[in-house]
Amino acid sequence: PPVIDGGLMKMSLFRPATRADIATIAEFQLAMAQETEQLALDSATVLAGVTAVFDQPERGYYYVAEHSAAGNRGAVVASLLI
């Protein structure tokens, strides 16, 4: 699906997250809490929570979106917990 980026239409690749994405997903969670609730969450707690989803799949599954434009190809730009 297309993603709007600076007024230009870019394509993103959606894929299941891997353990290599844990730190990025945790960073997104920390940023979202700060931006939406003005909460500074404990990074170790958030990292443990994200990791727990990978350790116990019954908790859910993460998916990530990767930027596909040249120069940014493969950069994770979003995450979703289902």
The predicted-structure confidence for 31-45, as pLDDT tens digits, reads as follows: 999 999 999 999 999
Q: pTM score, two decimals? A: 0.81
pLDDT on residue 70: 57
pLDDT on residue 62: 97
Whether residue 9 has pLDDT greater than 70: no
The H-or-E segment that residue 9 falls in is strand 8-16
Give the Cβ contact number of residue 21 at 10 Å. Answer: 20
Q: Who wins on pLDDT, 10 or 26?
A: 26
Cα angle: 52, vertex 56, 57; to 5 degrees? 115
Give the residue-averaged pLDDT of 58-71: 85
Give the Cβ contact number of residue 33 at 10 Å. Answer: 14
